[in-house]
Each structure stands twice: as C-alpha cells, then as structure tokens.
Chain A
Amino acid sequence: MPPKPHRVLFDRVSGYADEGAAFMRRRRALRRPFARLYYGGGRAEDHAVDSTAGGELFVAAGRLIEVAGKRPKS
C-alpha cells in the first residue's frame, strides 16, 4: 500500500531541512577567520591571518569588536 500523499510531502520537506541544517553546521565548523578587502571595480583581496597585513587588519578589527561590545538583548 503506498504511503499517504501528505506523508511523502512531509518526508521530503524534512529531508531538505536536514540537508540545510547539515550544510550550515559544516559551514560553521569549516569557516576560518578571514580578512577581505574590496576595491573599486569589484576587485577583492584576501589576507591570511599569519601575513603582516592580515595580522594588522585583525588587530584593528579586534579593537572595533571590543568597542561594539556584546549584542544588546532585545
């Protein structure tokens, strides 16, 4: 006996939701600190954390994060 049509739909939707959640989890785990600079014309440059420029950028960004503080509770 075939499953009821709504069961098929539910299974498919929850399958997509699981895929999405797994993608987000992998993204969180894999994403490393980065420093990306964008110039006119759409050119972009990445700077590694261990490079001189990257290190300075991370220090400057760290100060800004410190100024901003924690997210206010809504």
Chain B
Amino acid sequence: MADDAVTGDVSSEAAAGALAYLTEMSPDLRGAAIVDPGGVVLAASGDADRWREDAAALFDVADRTGDEPVEQIHIGTEQGEVLALRHAGLTAVAVTERFALASLTFFDMRSLLRDLAGETTQSTFTPQEGGKSRRRRRSGGSDAA
C-alpha cells in the first residue's frame, strides 16, 4: 500500500502548509521538499528544481541497490542527515542537522504524506489554537561532563 498512487490532486498550498508544519515541529530541520507522483515539486525550501533533481537521483540510486523499491532512506554524514520517504506516490525529503531525532521526523513526514494523500480525515498540520508552539526541543543533550 505504501507506494500506491495518490487518489486526488494535491495542491501546492496544502503541501506548503505541510512543509511549514514540519519546519515548525523539527528545530533540527535545514530544508525539505514534497514531490508529487509526477515528479513535480509541490513545496520546497529553496531551489525547487535542485530538490526535484537531487531527490530523484537519490531514489534512483537507492532503487538500483535492491530488487524492490525503497520506501525510506536515512543517510547520516558529517555535514548533516538526509531523510527521505515515499508514501502513496508522494515523496518527502528532509535534510537535518546531525543527530536529529530521526524517528520522530520520519513519523511527522509520514503523517504529512498521509494527510496530503487524503488517507486521514483530520489534518495533522492545521494551526494550533492559542498560538502555542509545537516545536520539539532540540536533540543532543548536554556536552558538559
């Protein structure tokens, strides 16, 4: 089911809202993009064309390594971490600082893609009442001791 195509059209506004939510939730996030099943960037922080090309290249390389399509990619380097996820034909790619809370970020990305794909009745990324910050605390811990 994970790679079934999305049933309805996903608007750029909805994707931009999802991206804003992800950015708010993840203080370690440097940038992210959401790409539709046709390879069109629905929302991105920065150069959309570069995101499209580089995200496609990443999944292309990843798919070539095995005999089935990759669902999720997590690469950690000295410069940062790349998290990429495909769900219902949509793709979310995020770049974070090193040692980010990867499983939580993946969880948020998956929730957003489910919302965008219309699999949930209640949106994950509607603004919260009262203007409370939903921002998670930074990962890592103290360097003391």
Q: Are B97 and A71 in contact (CB under 8 A)?
A: yes
CB distance from A50 to the nearest CB of B (A): 14
Are A67 and B66 in touch, CB under 8 angstroms? Answer: no
Give the docked Cα–Cα distance between A57 and B54 (Å). 11
- Indicate whether B95 reaches chain A with its CB closer than 8 angstroms: yes
Q: Is the interface on chain B under 10, 10 to 19, 20 to 34, or 35 or more residues?
A: 35 or more
Q: Among the listed B27, B61, B76, B93, which residue makes an inter-chain contact with A53, where contact means beta carbons less than 8 Å apart?
A: B61
Q: How many chain A residues touch the partner (CB < 8 A)?
A: 38
From A22, A24, A27, A36, give the contact of B75 (CB < 8 A): A36
Is B45 interfacial (CB-CB < 8 Å)? yes
List B residues 75-103 near A (Cβ within 8 Å): 75-80, 82, 93, 95, 97, 99
Q: Does the CB pair B68–A39 fall under 8 Å?
A: yes
Contact of A65 among B57, B80, B141 (CB under 8 A): B80
A24 contacts which chain B residues (CB < 8 A)?
Answer: 140-143
Interface residues of B in 28-80 (CB under 8 A from A): 28-32, 45-47, 50-51, 54-55, 57-58, 61-62, 64-66, 68-80
Q: Which residues of A contact B65 (CB under 8 A)?
A: 37, 45, 47, 53, 57
Q: Is A61 an interface residue (CB 8 A)?
A: yes
Interface pair B140/A57, CB less than 8 Å apart: no
Across the A-B interface, the 5 shortest Cβ-Cβ residue pairs = A68-B31, A68-B95, A24-B141, A38-B72, A61-B75
Instruction: Provide a sorted-by-A list of 7 A–B residue pairs whose CB atoms are within 8 angstroms.
Output: A35-B73, A38-B71, A38-B72, A39-B71, A60-B54, A65-B82, A74-B27
